[in-house]
Structure 1
């Protein structure tokens, strides 16, 4: 099955992730290979609430939000890969390693979110994340997350 058959729009993403405005940071999935990788994007607009204070007159997307966008893309990857019902589950960050920020992300950028599967054991998943703008790496790192029952939170 080709990756083009797996494109997800914002409505489908919202069915998988609990995040909503202003914290939903994945706009569309472009490519998906089950159990292998996912490519998505976030359009960065001057209308983002965080630009009011980060920084006035010099708008820069906070690095932690770039990582959150990668984690959300990872959540879509896992929710699209797992073959069991996940309606009562949520995807939660459990760790970050080897994080590097390379370049600032500013209004008008399209933040490409590349997630590659490393491994999983039981409900813990480990992935590599690389965020790019115009083909240049802006942030990267390893992250892990758990699939947890919403009722257990």
Structure 2
């Protein structure tokens, strides 16, 4: 398991844009499972939406990508590199994520060729699928 400090030693993201609190499982370069404890104090809730706070879907996708990046950048050949989106395909949102939820994200690399690849991401709250997407990435 990796804590926030260990995650920040691997990926370049920082608050308020670091969207992973811990990594619970990981196969370096292949897959990872990460957790985000969604707090009412998240800065995006101030405007999305003040009377009915909902975590933006794009940030759920970003959180999944960060989980995948931890797995990839833990590989010695990618250490110190920057992960970038190359695309997002087939994104689906099935449930709202709200303050108090614990977002569990699973990302599996389905194809990696050099600095380019594809990962399948799924996000759950209480075992219920809330989002999924195919994440296309480039490591620079």
Q: State the partner residue of 1:132.
A: 124
- Where 1:55 maps in the other structure, the secondary structure is coil
1:102 — aligned with what? 94
Report the TM-score, using the length of structure 1 for normalisation: 0.88
SS in 1 for 2:35: strand
Deviation at 1:33, TM superposition (A): 2.0
- Please say which structure displays the higher CA radius of gyration: 1
Looking at structure 2, the residues matched to 94 and 55 of structure 1 have their Cα atoms a distance apart, in angstroms, of 29
Q: Which segments of 5 or more consecutive residues in structure 1 lack a partner in the other structure?
A: 1-6, 149-153
Match of 1:56 in 2: 50
Per-residue CA distance 1:10-37 (angstroms, 9 max, x = gap): 1110011111111000000001123432
Q: 3-state SS of the aligned residue for 2:76?
A: coil
Q: Matches of 1:79 and 1:126 in 2, distance apart?
A: 14
Q: CA separation in 2, counterparts of 1:16 and 1:60? A: 28
Shift of 1:85: 5.7
1:75-132 CA-partner distances (Å, limit 9, x unpaired): 101012x232622x11111111111000000000000010011011120021000000
Runs of 4+ in 1 over 3 A off after TM superposition: none
In 2, the alpha carbon distance for the partners of 1:115 and 1:84 equals: 19
Number of residue equivalences: 140
Gap regions ≥5 residues in structure 2: none
When normalised by structure 2's length, the TM-score is 0.96
